[in-house]
């Protein structure tokens, strides 16, 4: 087993780290406070090739791989978790198009996402369909060479600002989940209404509701065949879930660094507070959880680069890193006390942002179900 990163991977990591420090960190607190979407950062990250790590050069990417993407994502999320979401909103649709689209669709739609010219999103969740994707109610009825989409999607990242969306809808409800199809649609047209939603954290990543009322989508925008939607959705979530896990790792790291720095600075009762065993206990747990999560995330990414099945490994990584981030952020706030609770310091933001990782891209409970059912032999996660 070789744990050494290649020169290319180190360069990608260092580029992302430098970008985050210079372009994201100076305004992170203000962007969070103002709920400001940074379209300029979307484009700058596209220019640097961050979205192209898992896209071949023929479609505008650089093909560095999933491990490179994990390293990039960790560095971005360490500085501001909300900006990390921008990565998933670009690569989610791009990867689905790459894996399931025809050549014309790939050449037409992937490069603008990779360059950050088009703001992307993917629309799965509905008011009554969260973890249970098959419960969605949005429909797509074909009329000649056009589909008419009707329904509502909620809690969709980038919904208020996206130009395009990968939308999942029923084309044949009688077939249950086998009747779900996937469409790549232009959101800047009649038939789409948007409503912004406020959340506890990740404030610089806009989230909202999309309502479709006879939204016209050309039949040529169908991804794969009718009925392929559930398969596409499950495959896509496994890819974006991996990037999400890397983001949680970045938040865990940020919280740990803040706690360690404060322990070595703050003095109480005549000594640095890092000398107190209760704080050492928290620091030790933070380090152990983070390092375990890092190895699991990198393993899942490595498997993806080797084109090996990794659904189980991604679920383990996502669960572990999400829990590590939540623990680290809570522990850091306890160590910093009033300073951690204050909005003048970033730790309270880490806590708010960390909670999202236990929910998005499949909640921690869903990951535990996947892991347990695989272990029990009820449903193998890495089935072909």
Question: What CATH class is the domain 237-376?
Answer: mainly alpha
Q: 384: pLDDT confidence band, cut at 50, 70 and 90?
A: low
- Residue 232, SS3? helix
CATH superfamily, domain at 7-115: Acyl-CoA dehydrogenase/oxidase, N-terminal domain (1.10.540.10)
pLDDT in tens, 161-183: 999 999 999 999 999 999 999 99
pLDDT in tens, 140-169: 999 999 999 999 999 999 999 999 999 999
Strand 164-170 relative to strand 122-123, pairing: parallel
User: What are the DSSP calls for 273-311, one per residue?
Assistant: GGGSHHHHHHHHHHHHHHHHHHHHHHHHHHHHHTT---H
pLDDT in tens, 263-321: 999 999 999 999 999 999 999 999 999 999 999 999 999 999 999 999 999 999 999 99
pLDDT in tens, 331-347: 999 999 999 999 999 99
Q: How much is the pTM?
A: 0.96
pLDDT recorded at residue 123 = 97
Contact between 128 and 199 (Cβ < 8 Å): no
Share of the chain above pLDDT 70, in %: 100
Q: Where are the beta strands (DSSP E) in 124-187?
A: 139-143, 146-157, 164-170, 180-186
Residue 20, Cβ neighbours under 10 Å: how many? 24
pLDDT in tens, 56-98: 999 999 999 999 999 999 999 999 999 999 999 999 999 999 9
Rounded CA-CA distance 306/304 in Å is 5
| Helix/strand/coil percent split, the chain, to 5 | 60, 15, 25
N residues, the chain: 384
Active site positions, annotated = 361
Common-topology check for domains 122-230 and 237-376: no
Domain definitions of the chain by residue range: 7-115, 122-230, 237-376
Quote the tokens at residue 36.
């400001």
Which CATH number fits the domain 122-230, given the four candidates 3.40.50.2300, 3.30.390.50, 2.160.20.10, 2.40.110.10? 2.40.110.10
Q: Where are the beta strands (DSSP E) in the chain?
A: 122-123, 139-143, 146-157, 164-170, 180-186, 192-197, 207-218, 222-223, 267-268, 271-272
């Amino acid at each position: 087993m070789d744990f050494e990163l290649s020169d290319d991977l180190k360069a990608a990591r260092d580029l992302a780290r430098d970008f985050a420090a210079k372009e994201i960190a100076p305004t992170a607190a203000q962007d969070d406070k103002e709920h400001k979407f940074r379209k300029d950062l979307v484009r700058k990250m596209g220019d640097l090739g961050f979205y192209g790590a898992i896209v071949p050069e023929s479609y505008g990417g650089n093909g560095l791989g999933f491990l490179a993407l994990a390293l990039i994502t960790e560095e971005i999320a360490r500085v501001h978790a909300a900006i990390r979401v921008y990565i998933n909103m670009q690569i989610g649709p791009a990867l689905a198009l790459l894996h399931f689209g025809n050549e014309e669709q790939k050449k037409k739609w992937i490069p603008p996402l990779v360059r950050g010219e088009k703001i992307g999103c993917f629309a799965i969740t509905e008011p009554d369909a969260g973890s249970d994707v098959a419960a969605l109610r949005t429909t797509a009825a074909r009329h000649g060479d056009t589909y008419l989409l009707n329904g509502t999607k909620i809690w969709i990242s980038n919904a208020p600002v996206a130009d395009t969306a990968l939308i999942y809808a029923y084309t044949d409800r009688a077939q249950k989940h086998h009747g779900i199809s996937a469409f790549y649609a232009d959101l800047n047209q009649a038939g789409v209404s948007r409503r912004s939603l406020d959340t506890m954290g990740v404030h610089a990543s806009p989230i909202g509701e999309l309502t479709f009322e006879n939204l016209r989508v050309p039949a040529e925008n169908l991804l794969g065949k009718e009925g392929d939607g559930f398969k596409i959705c499950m495959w896509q979530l496994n890819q974006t879930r991996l990037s999400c896990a890397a983001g949680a790792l970045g938040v865990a790291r940020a919280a740990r660094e803040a706690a360690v720095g404060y322990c070595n600075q703050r003095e109480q009762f005549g000594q640095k507070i890092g000398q107190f065993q209760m704080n050492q206990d928290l620091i030790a747990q933070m380090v152990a959880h983070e390092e375990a999560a890092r190895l699991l995330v990198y393993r899942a990414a490595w498997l993806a680069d080797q084109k090996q099945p990794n659904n189980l490994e991604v679920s383990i990584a996502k669960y572990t890193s999400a829990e590590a981030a939540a623990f680290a952020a809570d522990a850091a706030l306890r160590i910093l006390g009033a300073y951690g609770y204050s909005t003048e310091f970033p730790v309270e933001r880490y806590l708010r942002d960390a909670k999202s990782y236990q929910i998005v891209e499949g909640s921690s409970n869903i990951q535990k179900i996947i892991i347990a059912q695989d272990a029990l032999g009820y449903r193998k996660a890495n089935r072909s």
